[in-house]
Structure 1
Amino acid sequence: MRFKRGVAVTAIALTSVLSVVGCAKDSASSNNSSGGQNGAAGCQTVDKPPAASGQASTSEVATDVDASSLKVGLAFDIGGRGDASFNDSAAAGLDEAIAQLGVKKENTKELTATDQESEDSKQTRLRQLAREGHNPVISVGFAYSEATKVIAGEFPNTQFAVVDGFVEGAPENVTFLGFAEHEGSFLVGVIAALESESCTIGFVGGVNVPLIQKFQAGFEQGVKAVAPDATVNSRYITEAGDLTGFTDAPKGQVTAKGLIDQGADVVYHAAGASGKGVFAAAHEAGIKAIGVDSDQYNQPTVAEYKDVIISSMLKRVDVAVFDYIAAVAAGDLANLPQVFDLKVNGIGYSTSGDMLSDETVDWVEAYKQQIINGEITVSDTPTTS
């Protein structure tokens, strides 16, 4: 099996035509259109950024390997395969490894976490996969960090990975797969600012933890980069310690409705399966929504709300899982990216459904290249609580 996952390496040539998009441009250019279709006024955007040139790099992971001898174990976070978000993206990476690297489906096993489970339960799940000979064992979600540290110590000849994992003193057979979520969230913040008519924008986080705060931070910065006077209101479904914020669609709907009642006409969520409720609230109110992790416009479990999903922040867990499996098969984990960011196509945004204008995409691409070039540094810490 031979497959090469690449990133397009292109110089970006963008149009220079300035036009009114969503929030009003400055008064000199908006006499006939002081806002969106509802005529909202008072929120101005900066000048369109200049066309940026540069190159995206690629990871150095060898993806032309034969992984047919691997038995891959995948431990999902709560929600599991079918959450239309984080877990589904991980599942897509395994599916791609089956299709392109020769991993045999019958040699894979998937197990899923339950709400509010103990550390013992996580350890039992990982221990089961390792005892059954699965190698590597991939855990999806930061909640597996401590459990993986323990079980990896029991099975030193098994390779373990944790998506979003972090813990001090982990054994050498543990790889943490981290992402620059704030960079991708900046890009969809640009989209939100350009697509908003009221210039009031909402963010719904699943659980108030540092990982999800990265999404909030980048999103708020992206909105403000384009529309400094825009209002961004952020809310969390649950506080740290209560992970049901990732699996409670009704609470997601209530949380999003609260933001809509405050005037938000674009809402971005980083709430896992609870995002279905965010989409439901947006659909009911007739406003726009932005998904997360997977391309949610194309996810069947939220298909009834696809008419409001204008984009999704793509956290390419599929790329990280695929690259990790390839690296294990090649016996070379050293060349995995330290962080899956915009430079290695580990983060992005979707344009499915043609919901975004060419003008909006041009703006986003300009900002994207500036981040890749190091001209913009995106914060991973919110400036608001």
Structure 2
Amino acid sequence: MKKYLLLLILVLGISTLLAGCGTDTENGAENNQGTEESLVKIGMVTDVGGVNDNSFNQSAWEGLQLLDKDLKGEVKVDFAQSTSDAEYIPNLTQFVKAGWDLTWGIGFLMGDHVKTVAEQNPEAKLAIIDAVVDAPNVASVTFKEHEGSFLVGVVAGLMTKTDKIGFVGGMDIPVIARFDAGFTAGVKAANPDAKIIYNYTGAFDKPDLGKAAAATMYDQGVDIIFHAAGATGDGVFNEAKARKDAGQDVWVIGVDKDQSITFGDDITLTSMMKRVDQAVYRVSKELVDGEFKPGLIQLGLKENGVGLPAENPNIPADVLEKVNEFKQKIINGEIEVPSEK
């Protein structure tokens, strides 16, 4: 009898212990869920270039990562990659329907899709880079790419040795047209005798097309190419590196980020910085602070939204001085850079 009594006490003790563990686990899950719910959640959808495009998608994600670092414990950030335009609306919708506080669409090509999702979900907050979406719940960030491109055009015009300069674009859309127009104006302002050869590849995610375009240009005597082609521009750098390794004096002007960090100073003459990371950080931080403002935000030289990198080891001091003169004239309104040709 004593054995049975002892066994019963032991079983009851274990049951109580297990019940206690179950309660702790359940409470822990609730606590984690509470923490999750208290976070400000910000999602981002890339265009077809992907998050590692060495260009504007990557820059946007870096802006959110920095926000996460600076506001640790206050925000949660994540992204969804799109491999085709058919995935834009589903990717945007998944963040919205999951109750994320802000959903970014990155790139001009997502404009109509962001508008559709915004209209279908008027209570949601969205933001977009490089397009203007006329909706009361969307913040639209655009850049005066033509102003920054004018400056790298001045660099190319003053530094070309062959008087032949190339421009490789992605798709022929308004944002790329601004790059083209500003670059052309800058080259001509610095070197009226220079010839510019243009190639629109039709894609932002095809490095092989960028490489082929660059090869054709370099074969024609071009010695400096400015690309505004997203990940397609990786191919321009690859071709330049092959030529450089073979002893040919050729250069690439990068775009969106300081692309010398990725491709090296030996082939990157400079870059036309488009500070997408800072814009994404700024708008997202405003959301966290309860100050989200739908509408248009436009960033140019005056707002430090575009321009050259802080360090330009390949550009002589006299050329940089000339670039800064043009920059100040643009800021002062003495020069109005065309946004289309």
TM-score (norm 1): 0.74
Q: CA deviation at 1:108?
A: 1.6
Which residue is equivalent to 1:177? Answer: 141
Q: 2:283 aligns with which of 324, 327, 348?
A: 324
Is the Cα contact below 8 Å between 1:248 and 1:274 reproduced in 2? yes
CA distance in 2, matches of 1:74, 1:103: 19
Residue pair 1:182, 1:380 contacting (<8 A) in 2 also? yes
Kindly state the Cα deviation for residue 104 of structure 1 after the two structures are TM-superposed: 4.9
Counterpart of 2:302 in 1: which secondary structure? Answer: helix
Residue 295 of structure 1 aligns with which residue?
Answer: 258
- Give the alignment's Cα RMSD to 1 decimal: 1.9
Partner of 1:190: 154
SS at match of 1:72: strand
Within the alignment, does 1:358 sit opposite 2:317 as a pair?
yes
Q: Note if 1:256 corresponds to 2:214.
A: yes
Aligned equivalents of 1:102, 1:380: Cα separation in 2: 40
Task: Verify the 8 A CA contact 1:298 1:352 in the aligned structure 2.
Answer: no
**Corresponding residue for 2:4?**
none
Q: Distance in 2 between matches of 1:366 and 1:101?
A: 39
Confirm whether residue 279 of structure 1 aligns to residue 237 of structure 2. yes
Shift of 1:171: 2.5
Cross-structure match for 2:27: none
- What are the superposed Cα offsets for residues 281-301 of structure 1, whole Å, 9 maximum, x if unpaired? 2223330110000111112xx
Distance 1:294 1:77 in 2: 17
**Partner SS, residue 354 of structure 1:** coil
- Aligned to 2:80, which of 99, 107, 111? 111
More deviation, 151-160/248-257:
151-160
Q: Cα distance, 1:109 vs. partner?
A: 1.6
Is 1:207 the counterpart of 2:171? The answer is yes
Given that 1:184 and 1:314 are in contact with CA atoms closer than 8 Å, whether structure 2 keeps it comes out as yes
The number of residues matched between the two structures is: 299
**Following the alignment from structure 1 to structure 2, what is the Cα–Cα distance between the partners of residues 333 and 340?**
17
Deviation at 1:103, TM superposition (A): 6.4
CA positional deviation for 1:263? 1.5
Q: Secondary structure at the match of 2:299?
A: coil
- Match of 1:30? none
For 1:252, what is the secondary structure of its paired residue?
Answer: helix
Match of 1:230 in 2: 194
CA 1:375–1:256: 2 relative to 1, 3 Å? same
Rounded to whole Å, the distance in 2 between the matches of 1:103 and 1:156 is 28
SS of residue in 2 equivalent to 1:178: strand
Offset, 1:173: 0.3
Q: Which runs of 5+ in 1 are unaligned?
A: 1-67, 239-244
2:44 is matched with 74
- Note closer, same or farther for the CA distance 1:198–1:75 as it changes in structure 2 (3 Å cut): same
| Deviations, residues 233-260 of structure 1 (Å, cap 9, x unaligned) | 111112xxxxxx1111111011111121
Following the alignment from structure 1 to structure 2, what is the Cα–Cα distance between the partners of residues 134 and 73? 7
Q: Give the Å deviation of 1:155.
A: 2.3
Spell out the pairing of 1:364-383 with structure 2 (5 A cutoff).
364-382=323-341
Q: If the length of structure 2 is used for normalisation, what is the TM-score? A: 0.83
**Residues 145 and 306 of structure 2 are in contact (CA less than 8 Å); yes or no, is this contact kept in structure 1?**
yes
**CA apart distance, 1:102:** 4.2
- Distance (whole Å) between structure 2 residues aligned to residue 226 and residue 103 of structure 1: 50
Contact 1:327 1:336 in 2 (8 A): no
Structure number with the higher helix fraction is: 2
Tell me which structure has the larger Cα radius of gyration. 2
- Any conservation in 2 of the 1:310–1:351 contact (CA below 8 Å)? no
C-alpha separation in 2, matches of 1:337 and 1:144: 16
In structure 1, the partner of 2:66 is 96
